[in-house]
Amino acid sequence: MTQLTFPEGFLWGTATASYQIEGAADEDGRGPSIWDTFSQTPGKTWRGQTGRVACDHYHRTEEDVALMASLGLDTYRFSVAWPRIQPDGTGPVNPAGIDYYDRLVDLLVEAGIKPMPTLYHWDLPQSFEDRGGWPERETAERFGDYAAIVADRLADRVHTWWTLNEPWCSAFLGYGDGHHAPGRTEPVAALKAAHHLNLAHGLATQALRAAGAERVSIALNPTQPRGDEEAVRIVDTLANRVFFDPILKGEYPAELFERTAVHTDWSFVQDGDLEQINQRIDLLGVNYYNPAWFRYNPDAPESQVQPGSAGVEGYRPEELPVTDMGWPIEPTGLTDLLVRIHKDYGVPTMVTENGAAYPTGPGEDGEVDDVERVDYLRSHIAAVHDAIEEGADVRGYTAWSLMDNFEWAFGYDKRFGIVHVDYATQKRTLKSSAKFYAKVIADHGVER
Ligand code: FCB
């Protein structure tokens, strides 16, 4: 075994998202979000489960911050629920909503944990969807106002801001294949949503800077495509460069327009939008779980999730082990992705999510011995170290997730936490992976 030590200043964190953990869905003036509506629609989530109670984190914030402190975390990435701040998405601030996050930030700072809020982790106020949602420009414009409100209150204590979490999912799962809220299946709406999410990021970045934010970023979930060259280039263009290029270079790739021309002429991109989107960011957040494999086949139909993808088909190499999500385990994908972003875009990165679902619960002795998750974390943390050795400027690693939580369409069926949650009693139990991660943090490295 060799000990891999990380550079000084490299940060160790965990992540969560508001709708996945908070519960308290109707409390203190919170308005409904698209995830409330979607999860209450029959057939959309596993056993019709919702985030109404989730981990009840809203009422257990102090206890949960103490848990984080016990692990020795440097940072905590959480999300702010827009419908708590502006219950119908626009208009006056709900004081109880902003007070809640103000207190959370104070608790974190007192515990020596650097707060890293994400402004949007998918809980769009329902009133926007009633007016058309992310395919409408107004949603992006109002997101800039909301960013200013939150930053005005929290910017003095926040370490790093993430404008959006995984806009690919918001656009293509939300409006493409409908697997996520709001559950629409309209290719043009998905492409418009992608552009307006980019615009929202740019407007929010400017608002955050104006309010004195120190570090601003966005957390993307780039696909790490593998397979033949043609298929890889197409998937990279449609799924990755649709965000990378406008945000980091101020342009959309020509091939994106060509491949999606059957759906739209992109006339919703207005003059000046690309300048608004292409704001300086301090680093790029990378969420990574697994690579994906593709091959070129001229007869393959367009996949519903990715407009413009005709001619590309996905496949799965048989031999790889998978997690409880059925996601293949391939740590070198994380190394390749971080190195590629470094080479092509020259921007520092931080792993903003990485982790694995396994169902392991308490044994007879009460211990939760999730050995597979320990292996997953160990190999992926080592993969980050490999990327740094290859020259990538990686600033930190964030495990998904601090605790088991509402896994979107999969409800409570899939457990990603390093802390086990008994949903009947809300008891938290450190899994072996949490103890392992605490040691990684204490050692500032991992053994391989
Ligand atoms: C990511 C999401 C996060 C969680 C993990 C498993 O796509 O950002 O909320 O669901 O996947």
* Pairing assessment for the beta strands 312-315 and 427-430 based on DSSP bridges: unpaired
pLDDT higher than 90, residue 318 = no
Q: How far is the CA of 104 from the centre of ligand 1 (A)?
A: 22
Model pLDDT for residues 241-292, shown as the tens digit of each residue: 999 999 999 999 999 999 999 999 999 999 999 999 999 999 999 999 999 9
**DSSP secondary structure string, 360-418?**
----TTS-B--HHHHHHHHHHHHHHHHHHHTT--EEEEEEE-SB----GGGGGGS---S
Model pLDDT for residues 114-128, shown as the tens digit of each residue: 999 999 999 999 999
Model pLDDT for residues 33-74, shown as the tens digit of each residue: 999 999 999 999 999 999 999 999 999 999 999 999 999 999
Binding site membership of 400 for ligand 1 (Cβ less than 6 Å): yes
Q: Is 22 a catalytic site residue?
A: no
Nearest CA to ligand 1 atom 4: 407
Q: In the prediction, which pLDDT does 178 show? A: 98
Binding site membership of 162 for ligand 1 (Cβ less than 6 Å): no
Mean confidence (pLDDT) of the chain? 98
Model pLDDT for residues 164-220, shown as the tens digit of each residue: 999 999 999 999 999 999 999 999 999 999 999 999 999 999 999 999 999 999 999
State the average pLDDT over residues 336-352: 98
State the average pLDDT over residues 366-373: 98
Binding site membership of 163 for ligand 1 (Cβ less than 6 Å): no
- Its sign, for the CA torsion 130, 305, 50, 56, is negative
The CA–CA distances, whole Å, from 107 to 24, 80, 172, 429 equal 19, 15, 36, 21
Q: How far is the CA of 290 from the centre of ligand 1 (A)?
A: 12
State the average pLDDT over residues 417-426: 98
SS3 5: strand
Please give the sequence-ordered ranges of beta strands (E in DSSP) within 207-337, or none if there are none.
216-220, 225-227, 284-287, 292-296, 312-315
Q: Is 166 a catalytic site residue?
A: yes
pTM of the prediction? 0.98
End-to-end CA distance of the chain: 5
- The size of the chain, in residues, is 448
**Which residues lie closer than 8 Å to 42 by C-beta, 6 or more apart?**
48
* Pairing assessment for the beta strands 445-447 and 3-5 based on DSSP bridges: antiparallel
Binding site membership of 79 for ligand 1 (Cβ less than 6 Å): no
State the residue for tokens 């559950």: 183
List the catalytic residue out of 22, 129, 166, 407: 166
SS3 314: strand
State both tokens at 1: 């075994």
β-strand partners of 285: 219, 350
φ, ψ of residue 255 in degrees (nearest 5): -65, -25
Q: How far is the CA of 15 from the centre of ligand 1 (A)?
A: 10
Binding site membership of 123 for ligand 1 (Cβ less than 6 Å): no
**Which residues lie closer than 8 Å to 79 by C-beta, 6 or more apart?**
16, 17, 18, 117, 118, 119, 120, 121, 123, 165
Binding site membership of 232 for ligand 1 (Cβ less than 6 Å): no
CATH number of the CATH domain containing 249:
3.20.20.80
How many domains is the chain partitioned into structurally? 1
Domain that holds residue 222: 3-447
Contact present, 380 and 448 (Cβ < 8 Å): no
DSSP 215: -
Q: In the prediction, which pLDDT does 104 show? A: 99
State both tokens at 207: 């608002």
Contact present, 410 and 46 (Cβ < 8 Å): yes
SS3 288: coil
